[in-house]
Amino acid sequence: MQHWSSLSRRGFMSIVGTLGLIAAAPRMGFAQAAPKRGGTLAIGVEGASTGDTLDPRTFNSPYWAVASGTVFSTLVEAHGPANELRPGLAKSWEGSNGGKHWVFDLVEGATFHDGRPVTATDVIYSLKIHDAEDSRSNSRAIAAAIGSMVAETPMRVVIELKEGNYFFPAMVSNYPLCIIPDGTTTFDGIGSGPYKITRFAPGEAIEAARYDGYFKKDAAWVDEVVILAANDPAARASAFQSGQIQIASGLDTRTAALLKALPGKSLISLRGSQFVGFNMRADIEPFNNPDLRLALKFAIDRKDVLKRVYSGMGRIGNDTPIPPNDPLFATGIAQNSYDPERARALYAKSGHKGTLRLSTSDAATAPAVDMAVLFKEHAARAGIEIEVVREPADGYWSNVWGQAPFHATVWGARPTADMILTTAYSTGSPGNDSHWSNTAFDTAIAAARVEPDQAKRQALYVEAQSLLSSDGGVIIPVFGDVIEGVSSEVQGYVPGTQPCANYRCAEQIWFA
């Protein structure tokens, strides 16, 4: 039985929020027949690079999110369109002391792919490495919030947080926080997930075979899984159309109408919180100037982006990672809208002169390239000159993301609004790809995590969003619908708010 501290399960889910999901015709029938074993599932996903490794601290793209959900396990899992928290390696969890004290009891019989049992010491090691001195993990802010961890028994982990956080169980569902054997230093892909790696070719593919020792006996139906590095959106769509892959993530909204007309193909539109944005590194010139950052926020025509890049399939953003269809969305703050004259005035006030180089790539999805080109057009009307630099997909996440002064980013949905606010924008988080730091923002989200009163908690998140929208280092113009393709031969697929069935499609599906 799961325990939820002073929050009921329903109360917790009201905090998490439910994001919409709309299935595009033809609508799928997800579980028409009894599951059966057999077959090879091929998944095409963006975000791979030849420099990739199997170190979970480097997992920071859709490709590695799917790989994590296929090969590894987390303590807690988020499922379905409501991000329902379910047991992973933890069969139950209980919080107390205002969300500071957490006890996780592990499932019995879980083993790693090399046969070793999963124990509390493995959990402690797996979480601790994300806060190591040399860690660039986008989950470092989550791990850094841990004050102490104790293996009370081989199957019980007691975690004491530095500050209370009612959202902590949802946070440890984050895909880089997968559990690996204690003392791992070579990072050879040994996990406890449904599939065991048989071949890893960085930037090309991961091949994996069903792990017969997987602790979930009602999952992992296909014999083999191939996760293809399909960074090019046109190639991804072509592979889906031809039947080379059965599941394709991140399809272009402009080709959706053509693909959904094909026999044996289904498209699913996820109205979650994934977004493509542009980071302005707030810690270096020229973007350490708040007037310049605000000028650029008024220099992009969001309605035009929604129309021309996403074919109207999405919602306008306000430079925070919380979309309008999230219950925590701050409706009362001013909308950053296209205003060339205001942008021109703010740009002049900033004192900047010359061209701004904006790095973008298909690695951050096809809309990142098209949006950058449009942004250049929009900004020119405000007297702001932008040079669009199209970077190669290979190496983008290691060489450009979080490093270039002005660059495209993409973030997938997270189980809670607090998780994305913490990992992507809190001071000191390696996931903070704009390097923005604001003490008032950090204070607001820290207070919200321990606030039991819903109205007060909402007010704190509104304050955080207001600061990010007006001062932050990210431009988030639109929350585009995420289109994924699923072949009709695939059964058992249950969409989530994140692509590929919250990255766990491999263990879910079977073939008709």
Is 233 part of a structural domain of the chain?
no
Who's near 487: CB < 8 A, 6+ residues apart? Answer: 240, 243, 246, 247, 264, 265, 266
Name the burial class of residue 472, with classes exposed (0-12), middle (13-18) and buried (19+) by CB atoms within 10 angstroms of its CB: buried
Q: Is 468 in the same domain as 500? A: no
Tokens of residue 405, six digits: 């002064």
- Residue 25, SS3? coil
Q: Is 391 in the same domain as 505? A: no
What pLDDT is stored for residue 408 in this prediction?
Answer: 98
Who's near 419: CB < 8 A, 6+ residues apart? Answer: 142, 167, 170, 171, 174
Give me the CATH number covering residue 335: 3.10.105.10
Is 254 part of a structural domain of the chain?
no
Burial 240-278 (b: 16+ CB within 10 A, else e): bbeebbbbbbbbbbbbbeebbeeeebbbbbbbbbbbbbb
Q: Is 168 in the same domain as 187? A: yes
String of DSSP letters for 176-240: GG----TT--S-----SSSEEEEEEETTTEEEEEE-TT-S-TT---SSEEEEEE--SHHHHHHHH
Query: Which amino acid is present at 325?
Result: N
Q: Is 36 in the same domain as 132? A: yes
**Phi (first) and psi of residue 258, to 5 degrees:** -70, -45
For CA atoms 230, 499, 501, 141, the dihedral sign is: positive
Judge whether 339 and 356 are in contact, CB under 8 Å.
no
Q: Is 396 in the same domain as 495? A: no
What pLDDT is stored for residue 23 in this prediction?
Answer: 32
Q: Is 396 in the same domain as 472? A: yes
Q: Is 182 in the same domain as 120? A: yes
Give Cα 20 distance to the centre of its chain. 17
Beta bridge partners of 359: 389, 407
What distance in Å separates the CA atoms of residue 387 and residue 381, rounded to the nearest whole number?
14
What pLDDT is stored for residue 414 in this prediction?
Answer: 83
Closest to 112 (Cα-Cα) out of 205, 225, 18, 191:
191
CB-hemisphere CA count at 13 Å for 464?
Answer: 30
Tokens of residue 217, six digits: 């006996």
What pLDDT is stored for residue 31 in this prediction?
Answer: 43
What distance in Å separates the CA atoms of residue 134 and residue 332, rounded to the nearest whole number?
40
Say what the pTM is.
0.80
Is 165 part of a structural domain of the chain?
yes
Query: Which amino acid is present at 360?
Result: T
Please give, one letter per residue, the 3-state secondary structure of 343-374.
HHHHHHHHCCCCCEEEEECHHHCHHHHHHHHH
Q: Is 432 in the same domain as 494? A: no
Is 91 part of a structural domain of the chain?
yes
Q: Which residue has the tokens 């008709």?
A: 512
Measured from the Cβ of residue 108, the count of other Cβ atoms closer than 10 Å reads 10
Who's near 216: CB < 8 A, 6+ residues apart? Answer: 194, 507
What pLDDT is stored for residue 32 in this prediction?
Answer: 60
Is 437 part of a structural domain of the chain?
yes
Give me the CATH number covering residue 37: 3.90.76.10
Task: Provide the residue-wise pLDDT of the chain in tens; the chain has 512 residues.
Answer: 333 233 233 333 333 332 333 233 333 444 467 999 999 999 999 999 999 999 999 999 999 999 999 999 999 999 988 889 999 999 999 999 999 999 999 999 999 999 999 999 999 999 999 999 889 898 999 999 999 999 999 999 999 999 999 999 999 999 999 999 999 999 999 999 999 999 999 999 999 999 999 999 999 999 999 999 999 888 999 999 999 999 999 888 877 777 878 889 999 888 878 899 999 999 999 999 999 999 999 999 999 999 999 989 899 999 999 998 888 899 999 999 999 999 999 999 999 999 999 999 988 888 999 999 999 999 999 999 999 999 998 999 999 999 999 999 999 878 888 989 999 999 999 899 999 999 999 999 999 998 989 899 999 999 999 999 999 999 999 999 888 999 999 999 999 888 899 999 999 999 99
Q: Is 187 in the same domain as 283? A: no
Is 208 part of a structural domain of the chain?
no
Is 200 part of a structural domain of the chain?
no
Q: Is 427 in the same domain as 502? A: no
Domain residue limits at 182: 9-193+482-511
- Residue 124, SS3? helix
What pLDDT is stored for residue 19 in this prediction?
Answer: 30
- Residue 107, SS3? coil
Measured from the Cβ of residue 466, the count of other Cβ atoms closer than 10 Å reads 20
What pLDDT is stored for residue 326 in this prediction?
Answer: 84
Host H or E run for residue 460: helix 454-471
Q: Is 504 in the same domain as 414? A: no
DSSP 489: T
Is 366 part of a structural domain of the chain?
yes
Going from the C-alpha of 377 to that of each of 255, 305, 307, 312, the distances in angstroms are 23, 11, 15, 19
Closest to 464 (Cα-Cα) out of 431, 487, 436:
436
What pLDDT is stored for residue 132 in this prediction?
Answer: 92
Q: Is 180 in the same domain as 321? A: no
Q: How many domains does the chain have?
A: 2
Tokens of residue 183, six digits: 């003392």
